[in-house]
Chain A
Amino acid sequence: GQQLNQSPQSMFIQEGEDVSMNCTSSSIFNTWLWYKQEPGEGPVLLIALYKAGELTSNGRLTAQFGITRKDSFLNISASIPSDVGIYFCAGQLRTGTASKLTFGTGTRLQVTL
């Protein structure tokens, strides 16, 4: 089964720095999603993108749906310690009523004071 390629695999940054991560696919998707997972918990949805070229913000988070529909980007501005976790992208190609998500390999973010 396909998995999306995320980069970087891990990041170590200082508090206050901005963060960028991206996700690429060999297939197109109708929807791109970004999730955050904290240790020992399930992922939580951060941002959903529905149209190619769309730019959406959620507080300090900004995500974009790539024009080719094969990639997406997530930026976090002014990072804080609670941003620590694993960030997953996910793509969805709706066919009829089926809506399986394909997940990326994850970007592990560590924030130091």
Chain B
Amino acid sequence: DGGITQSPKYLFRKEGQNVTLSCEQNLNHDAMYWYRQDPGQGLRLIYYSQIVNDFQKGDIAEGYSVSREKKESFPLTVTSAQKNPTAFYLCASSFRGHYGYTFGSGTRLTVV
């Protein structure tokens, strides 16, 4: 079955450490997105990529980095520069220019 997979489901990180969240899709979607979700604030766009080897900053890119070396994969690195990284992170994908985002089931990151 086609879908979008995020791993791990839960992640704990010590302050000062970088951590990478995985996102893989087998839907043949061109575009991929990373959102951050905090209670009461909805979904905020971190980074997005329309094609391989290209990506753009979203509204809250500071302290995050991404890569898009393969169409199927769009990993997100939360760096030590991110001041408040504890949140629920959602990855999504879509055909380019299409409204139909498919979301993964999310990764809950907690800084300890």
Residues of A within 8 A of B (CB): 1, 3-4, 6, 9, 31, 33, 40-45, 48, 88, 92, 94, 96-101, 103-106
Q: In the complex the two chains form, what is the Cα distance from A99 to B45 in whole Å?
A: 13
Interface size on B, residues (CB 8 A): 28
A99 touches B97 (CB 8 A): yes
Nearest residue (CB) in B for A2 is: B59
Contacts known (A1-B45, A41-B106); A97 close to B40, Cβ less than 8 A = no
B105 touches A99 (CB 8 A): no
Q: In the complex the two chains form, what is the Cα distance from A1 to B92 in whole Å?
A: 18
Contacts of A100 in B (CB 8 A): 33, 45, 48, 58
Contacts of A43 in B (CB 8 A): 43, 90, 103
Contacts known (A97-B96, A99-B96, A105-B40); A40 close to B45, Cβ less than 8 A = no
Contact of B103 (CB < 8 Å), options: A3, A9, A42:
A42
Contacts known (A1-B59, A42-B105, A43-B103); A99 close to B43, Cβ less than 8 A = no
A1-B59, A104-B42 provided; 9 other pairs, C-beta below 8 A? Answer: A31-B99, A40-B105, A40-B106, A42-B105, A45-B101, A100-B33, A101-B101, A103-B35, A103-B43
A42 touches B104 (CB 8 A): yes
B42 touches A48 (CB 8 A): no
**Is B25's beta carbon under 8 Å from chain A?**
no
Contacts known (A40-B105, A40-B106, A100-B45); A45 close to B100, Cβ less than 8 A = yes
B42 touches A1 (CB 8 A): no
Contacts of B108 in A (CB 8 A): 40
Contact of A101 (CB < 8 Å), options: B40, B96, B99, B105:
B99
B90 touches A99 (CB 8 A): no
**Is B44's beta carbon under 8 Å from chain A?**
yes
Question: How would residues 87 to 112 of chain B score, 1 for a CB under 8 Å from any chain A CB and 0 otherwise?
Answer: 00010101011111101111010000
Q: In the complex the two chains form, what is the Cα distance from A3 to B104 in whole Å?
A: 21
Contacts of A3 in B (CB 8 A): 41-42, 44
Question: How would residues 17 to 35 of chain B score, 1 for a CB under 8 Å from any chain A CB and 0 otherwise?
Answer: 0000000000000010101
Q: In the complex the two chains form, what is the Cα distance from A44 to B60 in whole Å?
A: 23
